[in-house]
């Protein structure tokens, strides 16, 4: 209890007498010491492992020890639902010490916010977007509000660190630092992350505080996993209905449309069913959370919106239709169970598609081996830089070039943008009239005001606020739910039909000024779909594990009989080929097929290169790259020669090649700021979500090592309908020295088997 003894005496008393605690958990002991010593921290612990208290107790102790007026703690959550969920607990801890906590997001009334600003309490709970609104709002006294800020706690930090919202957040924190007297401590909370030291680096920014990773030994708990394969149409809903009957459960689906479809059919079976996804109205989501928390024997059918740490009470089961795309998501979801003493963490999969079976087994096996994905961070995020430059102009009215650079370049997401490149970007924005230069300072240009101030009749400030929601209204004037603005833009481009509240709807019209969508019931036969552009890419590690499952003879006790039978059939069909080589090749008179099992990003990169080098009809999945060949124009040998050519890193050190790759990306809309970047940066933004050049080089290196070390057996890695393969079709010996030298420059760890 060394850390407990360091707490302020009042906090010690309240922990014992108000909360009834007799001791701190190991993570709370370690985190308290780290925070009281002034470190920036990442705190790792399983879901419901006590991370909130691990961060809040030493922080509240610090607030008691240093009696300053005003707000001293920012507690940042990725979602409003999580804020609403944490408000009661954080408020209880603060109030028992005579301190206060206030939540601030888009659903909180202006009157309550005004009262807080007049007399700020010690703890402010908010979202990244709401922090931005505070900074750009003329009614918020930034200098007074943030002057005594001492601690910033980021909950579920893994959900932010790899995406635009997280890059936005760390940029905003650097801007807040300019108003603050303190080098505030930065504290991240996470249950599942593969590279916590990188996340610690990501939040550090301009802070001079020392760093500490708090990662106590995990106590293994009992877990129960089942995988059921459903092949007959309609059988899945029947199985799920029996599984949810009489228990309290969450049923995760991988799309909003599937949530609506399954929940609608489950309701017909008579069980209490709630629905939870991002396009339902706030009232519907909160009603589901509250009723579920207080009630029993009900099921919430949901997307990943219930994956984060929203407390819905004790659960009996987590159910999963098909499977998530990451081990991290699986662990987060399973972690919602097994919280009661004596209970077991569990997940039951219901697989409709055979293709998902291997994926589910791979995710479970990787989790059993204690592997979880690294969070990918980025150091040149140009569209967020554009976002932040305009935000600073709104915040301050006008800014100097030096102020822009000084406040923004410390953020990790801009850390590899040089001053020269930064100045070139500013010059581009001036040339496009996104910035106006009065000779001394920059302000928002006329083009920026025209684009963002009047687009869809929205005020410019909405660009930086929580995503705009539109009410969906039926013919009778009834409110069916809500949709977000960015979804509506894609909906008009791709489809005019969608699922909401268990029914299919057609868009009648969108009233941008009143933020309403008028809809009518979709006719029978019209297939609605949600917007969405993200390809179903799986990681290298998951795909290689899928391949390993096919190659080995291991039995998995959590498979039902049908799943086991299908797995055995797949092994019979593919085991001999896949075990013959690290990445075997087969071909016939029409197709060259390279069974890489390297994942979507690497295979998409290879597909593009085959297209460039051979002007070929090439295709890619998570498992293979496929090239159309013929006897005259394009041969099997041409494909092998291409592999040899691209295996040298020198091939990839060609700026012209990268430019060509960029031009091959689809016209995805990934950011509202994307269209206003220079063309190269605009294409690069899309390319980085699809291609993985470094990963491809690492994969090619491993392939060539395998082929060279077993060169005499290489012919046996080729299974072909044409048995008379000419000897010259065999890959020749390669000079691997340059490839191996390059290996030190890339992260080979994550590509090792």
pLDDT tens readout for residues 699-730: 999 988 776 554 433 334 444 333 333 333 33
pLDDT digits (tens, 9 = 90+) for 139-163: 999 999 999 999 999 999 998 998 8
Count of CA atoms in the C-beta half-sphere (13 A) of 687? 17
Q: What band does 477 get if pLDDT is binned at 50, 70 and 90?
A: confident
Judge whether 310 and 260 are in contact, CB under 8 Å. no
Average the pLDDT over 467-474 and give the result.
74
User: What stretch(es) of the chain map to CATH 1.10.10?
Assistant: 382-464
Q: Which among 673, 705, 70, 88 is positioned nearest to 388, based on CA atoms?
A: 673
In sequence order, what E strands does 112-221 have? 123-126, 151-154, 185-190, 211-214
Residue 502: the pLDDT is 58
CA 333 – CA 324 distance, rounded (Å): 10
CA 115 – CA 124 distance, rounded (Å): 13
CATH class of 2-214: alpha beta
- β-partners of residue 541 are none
Average the pLDDT over 537-563 and give the result.
96
Provide the H-helix boundaries in 438-560: 446-454, 485-494, 540-551
| CATH assignment of 226-368, among 3.40.50.300, 3.30.70.20, 3.90.170.10, 3.30.365.10 | 3.40.50.300
For residue 152, which phi and psi values (nearest 5 degrees)? -125, 120
pLDDT digits (tens, 9 = 90+) for 495-522: 456 666 656 778 888 776 677 888 888 7
Around Cβ 36, how many Cβ atoms within 10 Å? 17
- 3-class secondary structure, 121: coil
User: What stretch(es) of the chain map to CATH 3.40.50.300?
Assistant: 2-214, 226-368
The DSSP bridge pattern shows strands 345-351 and 317-321 to be parallel
Residue 292: the pLDDT is 77
CA 598 – CA 596 distance, rounded (Å): 5
Higher-confidence residue of 343 and 250: namely 250
What b/e sequence results for 549-565 when a residue is b if at least 16 CB atoms lie within 10 Å of its CB, and e otherwise? bbbeeeeeebbeeebbe
CA 666 – CA 691 distance, rounded (Å): 12
Is the model's pLDDT at 462 over the cut of 70? no
Q: Report the first-to-last Cα separation within the chain, whole angstroms.
A: 42
Is the model's pLDDT at 595 over the cut of 80? yes
Is the model's pLDDT at 336 over the cut of 90? no
CATH class of 382-464: mainly alpha
Q: Which residue has the tokens 């807040």?
A: 176
Dihedral angle over CA of 497, 498, 499, 505, nearest 10? -30
Residue 459: the pLDDT is 41
Name the percent of the chain lying above pLDDT 90: 57
Judge whether 628 and 617 are in contact, CB under 8 Å. yes
Q: Which among 751, 738, 733 is positioned nearest to 651, based on CA atoms?
A: 738
Is the model's pLDDT at 109 over the cut of 80? yes
Around Cβ 473, how many Cβ atoms within 10 Å? 18
Element of type H or E holding 709: helix 693-709
Average the pLDDT over 51-66 and give the result.
95
Token code pair at residue 127 = 């979202």
Burial class (CB within 10 angstroms; exposed 0-12, middle 13-18, buried 19+) of 630: exposed
Farthest CA pair distance, the chain: 85
What b/e sequence results for 151-174 when a residue is b if at least 16 CB atoms lie within 10 Å of its CB, and e otherwise? bbbbbbbbbbbbebebbbbbbbbb
Average the pLDDT over 535-555 and give the result.
93
Judge whether 299 and 271 are in contact, CB under 8 Å. yes
Judge whether 346 and 221 are in contact, CB under 8 Å. no
Is the model's pLDDT at 24 over the cut of 50? yes
- 3-class secondary structure, 525: coil
Q: Which among 166, 178, 556, 219 is positioned nearest to 377, based on CA atoms?
A: 166
Phi and psi based region of residue 34 (left: phi greater than 0; alpha: psi -120 to 50; beta: remaining): alpha
Rounded to 10 deg, the angle between the 693-709 and 636-646 helix axes is: 110
CA 404 – CA 162 distance, rounded (Å): 24
Average the pLDDT over 327-352 and give the result.
89
What b/e sequence results for 647-668 when a residue is b if at least 16 CB atoms lie within 10 Å of its CB, and e otherwise? bbbeebeeeebbeebbebbeee
């Amino acid at each position: 209890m060394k850390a407990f003894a360091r707490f302020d005496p009042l906090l010690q008393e309240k922990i014992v007498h108000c909360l009834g605690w007799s001791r701190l958990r190991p993570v709370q002991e370690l985190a308290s010491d780290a925070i009281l010593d002034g470190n920036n921290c990442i705190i790792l612990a399983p879901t419901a492992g006590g991370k909130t208290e691990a961060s809040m107790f030493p922080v509240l102790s610090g607030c008691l020890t240093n009696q300053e007026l005003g707000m001293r703690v920012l507690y940042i959550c990725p979602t409003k639902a999580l804020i609403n969920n944490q408000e009661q607990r954080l408020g209880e801890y603060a109030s028992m010490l005579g301190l206060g906590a206030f939540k601030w997001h888009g659903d909180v009334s202006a009157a309550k916010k005004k009262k807080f600003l007049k007399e700020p309490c010690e703890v402010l709970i908010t979202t990244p977007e709401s922090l931005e609104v505070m900074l750009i709002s003329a009614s918020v006294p930034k200098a007074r509000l943030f002057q005594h800020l001492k601690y910033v706690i980021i909950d579920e930090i893994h959900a932010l660190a790899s995406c635009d919202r997280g890059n936005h957040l760390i940029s905003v924190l650097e801007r807040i630092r300019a108003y603050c007297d303190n080098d505030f401590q930065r504290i991240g909370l996470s249950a599942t992350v593969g590279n916590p030291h990188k996340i610690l680096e990501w939040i550090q920014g301009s802070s001079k505080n020392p760093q500490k990773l708090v990662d106590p030994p995990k106590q293994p708990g009992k877990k129960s996993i089942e995988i059921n394969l459903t092949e007959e149409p309609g059988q899945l809903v029947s199985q799920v209905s029996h599984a949810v009957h009489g228990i309290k459960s969450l049923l995760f689906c991988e799309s909003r449309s599937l949530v609506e479809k399954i929940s609608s059919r489950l309701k017909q079976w008579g069980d209490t069913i709630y629905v939870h996804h991002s396009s339902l109205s706030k009232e519907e989501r909160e009603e589901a959370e509250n009723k579920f928390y207080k009630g029993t024997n009900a099921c919430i059918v949901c997307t990943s919106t219930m994956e984060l740490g929203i407390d819905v009470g004790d659960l009996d089961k987590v159910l999963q239709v098909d499977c998530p795309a990451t081990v991290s998501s699986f662990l987060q979801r399973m972690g919602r169970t097994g919280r009661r003493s004596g209970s077991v963490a569990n997940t039951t999969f219901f697989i409709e598609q055979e293709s998902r079976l291997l994926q589910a087994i791979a995710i479970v096996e990787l989790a059993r081996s204690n592997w979880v994905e690294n969070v990918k961070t980025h150091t040149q995020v140009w569209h967020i830089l554009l976002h932040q430059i305009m935000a600073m102009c709104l915040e301050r009215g006008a800014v100097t070039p030096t102020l822009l650079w000084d406040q923004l370049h410390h953020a990790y997401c801009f850390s590899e943008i040089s001053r020269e490149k930064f100045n070139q970007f500013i010059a581009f924005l001036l040339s496009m009239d996104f910035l106006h230069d009065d000779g001394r300072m920059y302000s928002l240009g006329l083009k920026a005001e025209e684009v963002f101030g009047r687009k869809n009749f929205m005020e410019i400030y909405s660009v930086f606020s929580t995503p705009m929601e539109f009410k969906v209204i039926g013919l009778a004037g009834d409110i069916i739910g809500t949709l977000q603005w960015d979804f509506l833009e894609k909906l008009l481009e791709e489809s005019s039909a969608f699922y909401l509240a268990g029914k299919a709807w057609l868009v009648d019209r969108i009233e941008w000024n009143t933020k309403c969508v008028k809809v009518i019931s979709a006719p029978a036969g019209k297939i609605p779909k949600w917007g969405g552009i993200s390809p179903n890419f799986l990681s290298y590690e998951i795909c290689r594990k899928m391949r390993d499952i096919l190659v080995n003879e291991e039995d998995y006790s959590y498979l039902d009989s049908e799943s086991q039978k299908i797995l055995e059939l797949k092994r019979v069909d593919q085991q001999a080929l896949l075990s013959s080589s690290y990445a075997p090749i087969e071909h016939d008179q029409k197709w060259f097929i390279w069974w890489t099992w390297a994942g979507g990003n690497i295979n998409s990169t290879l597909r593009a290169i085959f297209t460039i080098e051979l002007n070929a009809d090439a295709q890619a999945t998570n498992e293979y790259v496929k090239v159309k060949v013929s006897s005259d124009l394009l041969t099997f040998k041409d494909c092998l020669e291409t592999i040899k050519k691209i295996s040298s890193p020198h091939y990839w050190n060609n700026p012209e090649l990268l430019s060509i790759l960029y031009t091959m990306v689809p016209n995805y809309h990934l950011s509202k700021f994307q269209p206003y970047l220079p063309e190269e940066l605009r294409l690069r933004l899309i390319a980085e979500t699809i291609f993985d050049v470094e990963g491809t080089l690492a994969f090619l290196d491993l392939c060539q090592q395998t082929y060279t070390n077993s060169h005499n057996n290489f012919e046996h890695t080729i299974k072909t309908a044409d048995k008379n393969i000419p000897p010259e079709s065999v890959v020749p010996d390669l000079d691997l020295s340059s490839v191996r030298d390059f290996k030190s420059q890339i992260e080979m760890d994550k590509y090792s088997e």
